Amino acid sequence: MMKSTILFCFVLVLGLSFLHKVSGIKCYQCSTNSDPEGSDSCGAYGKFDKDRHVSVECTSDESHTPGTFCVKVTKQGPRGYITDGRWRNVIRRCGLVSDTGVTGVCNWGVELNGGFWEECYCSEDNCNE
């Protein structure tokens, strides 16, 4: 009886040693569409303003889209250059599903109307800066 109690305690302590708090990845979340008029804090045309956006835990209630990795999506309109009126939209968020995998590199393409898109997936805290 004594040996089984000691064995049970040993297994219990060993099992508990493997338990630790696991936290999810933290990502920035913002959208150019949500920026106040005249503001570019999400970084569509200028530098991303980290001070105006606090990163969120992707598994928390604060996250607009729960996930296990970070995403940055950039879309740019089809006309000329930015100085010629080309629009640009940036979205930073958590992601859950990726068609191409989370490789830490960006995928890009051109839409039928000539618009440009780029999607970047990464798996480190705040990597969608």
Q: Tell me, what's the pLDDT at 102?
A: 80
In DSSP notation, 51-88 reads GG---EETTSTT-SS--SEEEEEEEE-SSS-GGGT--E
Burial level of 59, CB count in 10 A (0-12/13-18/19+)?
Answer: middle
Q: Tell me, what's the pLDDT at 13?
A: 42
Check whether 10 has a pLDDT greater than 80: no
How high does pLDDT run on average in the chain?
A: 81
In tens, the pLDDT along 67-84 reads 999 999 999 988 655 555
Residue reference for tokens 């001070």 = 51
In tens, the pLDDT along 44-59 reads 988 998 888 889 999 9
Residue partners of 122: CB distance under 8 A and separation at least 6: 69, 70, 102, 104, 128
Check whether 2 has a pLDDT greater than 70: no
Q: Tell me, what's the pLDDT at 83?
A: 57
